[in-house]
Amino acid sequence: MTYEIVIAGFGGQGVLSMGKILAYSGLMEDKEVSWMPSYGPEQRGGTSNVTVIVSDDAVSSPVVNDYDIVVALNQPSLDKFAPRVKPGGVLIYDTNGIHHVPGRTDIEIYEVDATEEANRMGNQKVFNMLILGALLSARPMLSINSVQKGLMKSLPERHHKLIPMNMEALAKGAELLKRHEP
């Protein structure tokens, strides 16, 4: 089992944190992982992406050209990374601000209304956990228990009181995942 994943969006959407949680969660299951962030100097508001590889085997290189899973949180990220989903792969996008979804038929395309749900929950900070829940619903590569341990490892101890809320958002994100119908 190997998943090569890119998560891309604007700075401030929790892109890098999501990748970090995914990587730590993989470590909790003794998987081989790679986490490689990429962001512009503007960070918040600028574009950022993170490549995460979760595998049963050694990861030979963190550099990936084509992905098993692309998670796009804005139109520029969707435009850039959707063509790089491997045939048979998965594209997941947040519906907010997306105006054009590729019409590829060789991949699975899912939408998640995470922005609206985060607003309903009254907390934009759970946005990334809603997305992560959707990702793990589309491809359950890691257990929810491992994600909770990954959260504990990646969040500073003073924020551990937020873990139950994040776990709730993770479960809700799985419910929000919908197959995109062109």
Average pLDDT, the chain: 92
Of the CA atoms within 13 Å of residue 16, those in its CB half-sphere come to 14
Q: Would you say 140 and 148 are in contact if contact means Cβ atoms under 8 Å apart?
A: no
Residue 138: beta bridge partners? Answer: none
* pLDDT 10s digits, 70-105: 999 999 999 999 999 999 999 999 999 899 999 999
Per-residue model confidence (pLDDT) at position 40: 66
Q: Would you say 163 and 148 are in contact if contact means Cβ atoms under 8 Å apart?
A: yes
Q: How confident is the model at residue 44 (pLDDT cuts 50, 70, 90)?
A: low
In sequence order, what DSSP letters do the residues of 28-85 get, joined into one string?
A: HTT-EEEEEEEE-TT-BTSEEEEEEEEESS----S--SSEEEEEE-SHHHHHHHGGGE
pLDDT cut 90: percent of the chain above it = 82
Pairing of strands 32-39, 47-55: antiparallel
Residue 144 has pLDDT above 90, yes or no: yes
Per-residue model confidence (pLDDT) at position 14: 87
The mean-pLDDT minimum among 7-16, 19-28, 124-133 falls in 7-16
Distance, CA of 175 to CA of 127 (rounded, Å): 14
